[in-house]
Amino acid sequence: MNVCFITMDYHKKGKGGGLASYISAVSHMLVKLGHKVVLICYDPKKKEWKKENGCNILYWPFGNIHWYWHRLRLPYQVDLPLREIEWGFNIYKAVNEIKKKFSIDIIETSEIGNLFLSKSKIPYIVRLHGEPYVFTKYCQKPLHAGLRISNKMHLYAMRRAAALTSPSLKHAKEIASQLKWDFKKIKVIPNLAISSFVEAGSSNAPEFENIDAPRIIHPARIDFRKGTIPFLESIPDIIEHFPKAKFVITGDSTGTIKDNQIKEILTKNNIGHCVQITGHVEHEQMLKIYSQSQIVVMPSYYETFGISCLEAMAFGLPVIASNAGGLSEVVENEVTGILIKPGDSRAISEAVLRLLKQPKTCRRMGIAGRKKLLDNFTAEKIAQRTIGFYKEVLGSLNSL
């Protein structure tokens, strides 16, 4: 099959988040299974063809007018709808460029930038990775007019898609409620574990007993939605019992939390000496961090899935996660980790302390987590499910 992925986030120059990890892993596995894959990836400046792991990649500028609009502090509510129009037009042009060189059977894209995609006459599937409206809603922030308008644009393009897929049932239900659909119309296909994490984790033997200086990691960007603030606010209670504990945040700042706010929390609680904020971490270094850690904390206000939880499970680590969005479908409470209420720093500290004081529980959860990953989330299994669904969708369209 000839598949095209459209993504605004990809691991170029070592950067990229959960969407980039998913696109990289699934596209490479599809090539390994004998399919042909083309990627259209956002680049802010130039058009460029590359080839990587058997995938043909077209880097394409989706447009930055909306960014300048935002930076100039013009009416801010317009920037997101403007992005939809701008990116939609340029993505449509990029697809036409792809069509000149390759035959494409089906396109998979995320929610953003699909306004004109139906004009390409190629069936497209919207993969529900998450978009600003849902994230803002669950962070209980104001849903301004720009968010609402851009959300309407997303829903418009979803209704014209050949199908929708979601990494979790909870997120499928969230979007189905917006579309006023039966949630069963949205196919649930989980995200996949990156093979290199699974392979590296196979030889990992985490230390849980008699740890004088445990390492607790929050593998996420510095972002309000990711629960950075409650994670930091949980630390004082933990170091009262484990004064040599170390805490690591492995991501860049998204700007939703100001630098001075982070500094204020560190200074006020006198925890700067035990907190390391790494910025973006390269792949190989991330493997090393997981191998040297005891507990992973993902206290997000909302996640469509939670691919960092799979990374932790690959290394046999227990995960403390919010019972929010798709996280509860990855982390099984009291089996592979502990689920807590979003935004509750006390619940985070209590869960961390409990695990640090119960090494057998840590080991049991870590073993169960890796088993769950191998049973359900390996790259080959998810890629097979994905291509099977593509064939099902194309078969349905051909029968019309």
Q: How far is CA 268 from CA 53, 221, 233, 299, in A?
A: 48, 22, 10, 21
List, as one string, the DSSP characters of 266-306. Answer: HHHTT-GGGEEE--S--HHHHHHHHHT-SEEEE--S--SS-
Cβ 337 vs Cβ 361: under 8 Å: no
Element (H, E) at 56: strand 55-60
Cα dihedral sign, 189-195-196-201 = positive
Question: What's the token pair of residue 387?
Answer: 């291509």
| Nearest Cα to Cα of residue 238 among 255, 219, 216 | 216
Q: How far is CA 45 from CA 41, 42, 48, 59, in A?
A: 12, 9, 10, 9
| Nearest Cα to Cα of residue 138 among 126, 149, 130 | 130
pLDDT tens string, the chain, 400 residues long: the values are: 999 999 988 866 555 678 888 999 999 999 999 999 999 999 988 899 999 989 999 999 998 777 666 666 666 678 899 999 999 999 999 999 999 999 999 999 999 999 999 999 999 999 999 999 999 999 999 999 999 999 999 999 999 999 999 999 999 999 999 999 999 999 999 999 999 999 999 999 899 998 899 999 999 999 999 999 999 999 999 999 999 999 999 999 999 999 999 999 999 999 999 999 999 898 899 999 999 999 999 999 999 999 999 999 999 999 999 999 999 999 999 999 999 999 999 999 999 999 999 999 999 999 999 999 999 999 999 999 999 999 999 999 988 6
Distance (Å, whole) CA 62 – CA 113: 9
Total H helices, total E strands in the chain:
16, 14
In the three-class reduction of DSSP (H, G, I as helix; E, B as strand; rest coil), residue 122 is classed as: coil
| Burial (CB count within 10 angstroms: exposed 0-12, middle 13-18, buried 19+), residue 215 | middle
Residue with tokens 């802010």: 44
Distance (Å, whole) CA 149 – CA 66: 14
What are the structural domains, with CATH classification, of the chain? 2-192+378-398 (3.40.50.2000), 195-376 (3.40.50.2000)
Distance (Å, whole) CA 59 – CA 345: 41
